Amino acid sequence: MTDQDDSHPDAHANHPLAVSAPAVADLPPPELRYRRRMTIPQALREAWAAREITRSLAERSIRSRYKQAVLGFAWSLLTPLILMVAFTVLFKRVASGHNLGVPSNVPYPLFSYIALVPWTFFSNSIGNASTSIIGNITLINKVPCPREVFPLSGVAMAAFDAVLSLIALVVLFAGFTFMPRPTSYWVPLILLIMLAFVVGTSILCSVLVVYVRDLRTALPLALQFGLFVTPIAYGFSVIPRSIRGIYSVINPLGPTIESLRRTVLYGVAPQGQYLALAALGATVYLVGGYWLFKRMEAGIADIA
């Protein structure tokens, strides 16, 4: 009779010495699980508090890039200068019979170079930021800091190169005896809109590359495509009027580059409607990109 009771499936379950299987023993109770709720203002305060880390990362990257380079900081000038020469030969001469939207009283090298400086800043920022997290994953796992300092340091590095490239712009102004127009006081506002767009897209790309590795190959192709769909070698007027509005929101670089030309080279005010749409688009990129970055940063250390 005892053997029959022991063979019953519920016999051991009710035994006082029976041990139950720990089904969810490894998981903490829901009320003890850690959830960090962060608002955008709080995240911005933390990022600002870590600004010295951003500066140090950017300085380290700049030193390592140019330390053993023969030409050193001259590489910051070469990229926009080479593109300017190529555009001057291909677009100004080969396409001389077509309307490129270039005023006759503005030298074409100045017309193209003043657009190549912000474009190079944007392109370098995306390139630096897209590899900033993956390239510093060991540091990310050791140093407690806001993760956005890494793509921001890439933007700071690109800004350093952009400032150096302005040396060639000053030389071009002197060489063509062409002075910036009095309406250049618009430049700080234009640069602020451009900076918002660059920072937003750089932060967004930096975290997307962690989750979608194919973007590391796709981004250089996208930047090459963007070089020709952005009014750099030609004027903003070449873009069909019917799509200029939506184009200004999608690609704020177009209206900001055109605004730089209008204020610095042409001596007229920016086109308000397109610059306003560019500001709207840049704000969406900045806020949306930063919000998405903070949402996805929790899994960076595990995935990267």
Predicted local confidence at residue 249, as pLDDT: 96
- CA 275/CA 293 separation, integer angstroms: 26
The vertex-161 CA angle with 158 and 164, nearest 5°, equals 155
Rounded to whole angstroms, what are the CA distances from 65 to 73, 128, 135? 9, 12, 14
Segment 171-192 shows an average pLDDT of: 93
Q: What is the pLDDT of residue 79?
A: 81
d(CA 293, CA 204): 6
What's the pLDDT at 300?
Answer: 72
Residue with tokens 């474009």: 119
pLDDT (tens digit per residue) in 39-87: 777 877 877 887 888 888 888 887 777 676 656 666 677 888 888 888 8
Tokens of 242: 């019917």
> Residue 97's pLDDT is what?
47
The structure tokens listed for 73 are 């900081």
Q: What is the dihedral of CA 284, 289, 292, 298, to 10 degrees?
A: -160
Q: How far apart are CA 161 and CA 124, in angstroms?
A: 9
**How many residues does the structure list for the chain?**
304
Cα 194 to Cα 197: distance, rounded to the nearest angstrom: 5
Share of the chain above pLDDT 90, in %: 43
pLDDT digit string (tens) for 16-34?
Answer: 444 444 444 455 555 444 4
Domain ranges of the chain: 39-303
> Can you give the pLDDT at residue 297?
80
User: Looking at residue 85, what is its pLDDT?
Assistant: 86
Per DSSP, 147 falls in state: T
Identify which has the larger pLDDT, 104 or 262: 262
- CA 75, CA 66: separation in Å to the nearest integer? 9
The answer to whether residues 295 and 207 touch, using CB atoms and an 8 Å cutoff, is: no
